[in-house]
A and B are shown apart, each in its own frame.
Chain A
Amino acid sequence: AQSVSQHNHHVILSEAASLELGCNYSYGGTVNLFWYVQYPGQHLQLLLKYFSGDPLVKGIKGFEAEFIKSKFSFNLRKPSVQWSDTAEYFCAVRATTSGTYKYIFGTGTRLKVLA
């Protein structure tokens, strides 16, 4: 069965620290990959996505993610976090199964950035 694993449930960083959130998926076919962010009290918003081409994807607010097919990974990075990055981050995979699409989300990583 397809699955998405986010290894860090909680991350606490100081401002200006570098961030890397891990995401691994389990699926042997073609996938599209997403990172969503949910700021406190707000709904989910798309941060970035990968469909094809350059495996290094740049998103909004200085975030980027690298798709490494051999490792089934799509880790999210940001070189220098800000207090406003405090949020919950979800990795998601869209997989095609028997002609239908499955959207599978990880359980999320709560990031807290200390000012």
Chain B
Amino acid sequence: DAGVIQSPRHEVTEMGQEVTLRCKPISGHDYLFWYRQTMMRGLELLIYFNNNVPIDDSGMPEDRFSAKMPNASFSTLKIQPSEPRDSAVYFCASSQGAGGKTQYFGPGTRLLVL
């Protein structure tokens, strides 16, 4: 298995632009998680899905952030418009089973908003 796949690996954009991050979970996993990692705040859970349905989005910082999971093998995290304070590493993770136990992380997308 290729593991969790994220694209792009690096993204540099200018303030105000739309940013879309993509994630392909491990096949057969029914939970998908989006995290943001910054020096100041560490690793924060933004949102997670179970069977493509958003379960808890209380970690999404504001309305500029949105996430979708149109099918079991694809999810997107969109920031519109982006701001410099959104600069961070965004991780996607997936897990299998009721409640989702061990999470497998993707390599992350390093986002820099100028």
Interface residues, chain A, CB within 8 Å of chain B?
A: 32, 34, 36, 42-46, 49, 51, 90, 92, 94, 96, 100-108
Contact-size category for B: 20 to 34
Q: Determine whether the beta carbon of A101 is less than 8 Å from that of B91.
A: no
Q: Determine whether the beta carbon of A102 is less than 8 Å from that of B56.
A: yes
* B52 to A: closest C-beta gap in Å: 16
Interface residues, chain B, CB within 8 Å of chain A?
A: 33, 35, 41-45, 48, 55-56, 91, 93, 99-108
List the A residue with the shortest CB-CB distance to B105: A44
Q: Determine whether the beta carbon of A101 is less than 8 Å from that of B100.
A: yes
- Interchain CB contact (< 8 A) of A43 among B41, B101, B107: B107
Residues of chain A within 8 A (CB-CB) of B105 are 36, 43-45
Would you list 25 pairs from A and B whose C-beta atoms are within 8 A, ordered by A residue? A32-B101, A34-B102, A43-B105, A43-B106, A43-B107, A43-B108, A44-B43, A44-B91, A44-B105, A46-B102, A46-B104, A49-B101, A51-B101, A90-B42, A90-B43, A94-B99, A96-B99, A100-B56, A101-B55, A103-B33, A103-B45, A103-B48, A104-B45, A105-B45, A107-B41
